[in-house]
């Protein structure tokens, strides 16, 4: 599965946020939850469609899509030069698919800020600089080694050289990899570089609970800085989320309602994370099980079938597809079929978010 790495300076609330995320994933009924190690947890993706379908099909088992969150501690100024956990820390970031920046917006005289002052914009710049320096160092090393190979004019060199040099000069100008475009032909080479700043990023402002609906000047500046990067900022009060996460599920909703919030910041974080990972959900529904399956955008029907079982991909005949909205509106599979809204799709069909699918296949 795909994973989100929680990154930030010390004492910004990363562990608090991570604990809240994983506490909310404690095995409720059939939710598959496991901890791979203390710093990594599988978190269910909130999806109101599952409850609706489960009621409609009188299902006994409901299985949500999940994403992995990893708490990556140890970033300090100078990490790219080996300060703190340095290289180890950067290696952990290399292995995740999405970087979640946690930025401290809360004041608390008891909790030291590593740079003596709460300033999330400058904190973000410190982190971004470390990631950028790490990429610069790994890419310039790579380019140096490749220069010799590139002297021989090959197809590969023709694609690689201009792309790598463009990225290098972009990084030198202070741009993160994701803001530097290169020829799509170079994409596979580029992936192989494992650049930290090529990864998609999400931003969390860890604020006091009073600031959730009335952001401070500080958080507004941060919002502006992140909008300038084309990013999404999610305000969260980690301490408070950790408390809500301890409540039984039914009480959680009531508690949020009383505060005038429609959902927790954590829900929003997991949902945005899922989206930023480029995943869409198709659903399967029956009496035995209602289940959400994550697949990358652009996945064909047979590849989606392979998520369920490789036999279904191998023997793929066709996919019977209903739209979730049709089921929701008409109330049953029978009604959807009577309206002629069940479609038969072949091998080329691209799975869409909210497709409710039944695969026909040869055994
Ligand atoms: P990390 O070093 O980034 O993992 O930070 P921690 O999650 O360990 O948090 C550092 C300290 O800040 C702990 O004492 C937390 O209880 C506290 N903390 C975390 N989030 C908040 C918050 O939203 N408000 C306040 N006042 N304290 C917080």
Query: Does 238 contact ligand 1 (Cβ within 6 A)?
Result: yes
| Domain range 298-361, CATH class | alpha beta
Intra-chain end-to-end CA distance of the chain, in Å: 27
Query: Does 18 contact ligand 1 (Cβ within 6 A)?
Result: no
- Hey, whose CA ends up nearest to atom 10 of ligand 1? 11
Burial of 155 (0-12, 13-18, 19+ CB in 10 A): exposed
Query: Does 239 contact ligand 1 (Cβ within 6 A)?
Result: yes
Buried/exposed code over 188-201 (b: 16+ C-beta within 10 A; e: otherwise): eebeebebbbbbbb
> pTM for this structure?
0.89
Query: Which ligand 1 atom is the nearest neighbour of the CA of 110?
Result: 14
Q: In what order do the strands lie in the sheet with 98-104?
A: 35-37, 40-44, 66-71, 3-7, 98-104, 201-206, 233-236
Indicate the fold that domain 3-47+63-116+199-276 takes in CATH: Rossmann fold (3.40.50)
Q: How far apart are CA 132 and CA 115, in angstroms?
A: 20
Query: Which ligand 1 atom is the nearest neighbour of the CA of 9?
Result: 3
Strands (E) located in the chain: 3-7, 35-37, 40-44, 61-63, 66-71, 98-104, 201-206, 233-236, 279-285, 289-296, 316-323, 343-345, 355-361
Query: Does 225 contact ligand 1 (Cβ within 6 A)?
Result: no
Ranges of each domain in the chain: 3-47+63-116+199-276, 130-197, 298-361
CA 142 to chain centre: 28
How do the pLDDT tens digits run along the chain, 363 residues long?
789 999 999 889 999 999 888 875 544 333 344 444 568 888 899 999 999 999 999 998 999 999 999 998 767 677 667 665 566 778 889 999 999 999 999 888 788 777 778 899 999 999 999 999 999 999 999 999 999 989 988 999 999 999 999 999 999 999 999 999 999 999 999 999 999 999 999 999 999 888 887 888 899 999 999 999 999 999 999 998 888 888 887 888 888 888 777 678 888 999 999 999 999 999 999 999 999 999 999 999 999 999 999 999 999 999 999 999 999 999 999 999 999 999 999 999 999 999 999 999 998
CA 259 to chain centre: 27
Query: Helix axis angle, 238-245 relative to 265-276, nearest 10°?
Result: 100
Q: Which option is the CATH number for 130-197: 3.90.25.10, 1.10.287.130, 1.10.150.300, 3.30.450.20?
A: 1.10.150.300
> Residues for the chain: how many in total?
363
The predicted complex's ipTM stands at 0.96
Q: Are 202 and 272 in contact (CB under 8 A)?
A: yes
CA angle 206, 208, 211 (to 5 degrees): 100
Q: How far apart are CA 170 and CA 152, in angstroms?
A: 25
Query: Does 210 contact ligand 1 (Cβ within 6 A)?
Result: no
Q: How far apart are CA 44 and CA 42, in angstroms?
A: 7
Residue-by-residue DSSP string for 196-235 = GGGS-EEEEEE--GGGTTS--HHHHHHHHHHHHTT--EEE
Residue 75's nearest CA partner among 233, 223, 190, 196 is 196
**Binding site members for ATP:** 11-16
């Amino acid at each position: 599965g795909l994973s989100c790495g929680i990154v930030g300076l010390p004492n910004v609330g990363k562990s608090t946020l991570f604990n809240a995320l994983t506490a909310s994933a404690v095995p409720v009924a059939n939710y598959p939850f496991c901890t791979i190690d203390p710093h990594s947890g599988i978190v269910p993706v909130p999806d109101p469609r599952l409850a609706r379908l489960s009621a409609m099909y009188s299902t006994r088992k409901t299985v949500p899509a999940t994403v992995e969150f990893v708490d990556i501690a140890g970033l300090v100024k100078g990490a790219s030069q080996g300060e703190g956990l340095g290289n180890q820390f950067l290696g952990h970031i290399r292995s995740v698919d999405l970087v979640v920046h946690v930025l401290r917006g809360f004041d608390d005289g008891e909790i030291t800020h590593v740079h003596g002052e709460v300033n999330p914009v400058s904190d973000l710049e410190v982190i971004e600089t470390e990631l950028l320096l790490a990429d610069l160092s790994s890419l310039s090393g790579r380019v140096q080694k490749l220069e010799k190979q590139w002297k021989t004019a090959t197809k590969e060199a023709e694609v690689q050289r201009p792309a790598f040099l463009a990225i290098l000069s972009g990084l030198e100008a202070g741009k993160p990899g994701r803001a530097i475009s290169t020829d799509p032909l170079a994409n596979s080479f580029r992936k192989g570089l494992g650049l930290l700043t090529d990864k998609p990023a999400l931003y969390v402002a860890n604020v006091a609970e009073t600031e959730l609906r009335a952001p401070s000047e500080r958080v507004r500046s941060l919002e502006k800085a992140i909008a300038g990067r084309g990013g999404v900022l999610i305000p969260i009060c980690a301490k408070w989320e950790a408390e809500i996460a301890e409540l039984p599920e039914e009480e959680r909703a009531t508690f949020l309602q009383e505060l005038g919030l429609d959902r927790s910041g954590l829900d929003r974080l997991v949902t945005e994370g899922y989206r930023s990972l480029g995943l869409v959900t198709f659903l399967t529904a029956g009496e035995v099980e209602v289940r959400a399956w994550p697949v990358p955008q652009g996945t064909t029907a047979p590849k989606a079938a392979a998520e369920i079982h490789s036999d279904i991909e191998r023997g793929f005949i066709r996919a019977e597809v209903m739209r979730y909205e049709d089921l929701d509106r008409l109330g049953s599979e029978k009604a959807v079929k009577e309206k002629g809204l069940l479609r038969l799709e072949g091998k080329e069909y691209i799975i869409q978010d909210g497709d409710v699918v039944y695969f026909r296949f040869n055994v």
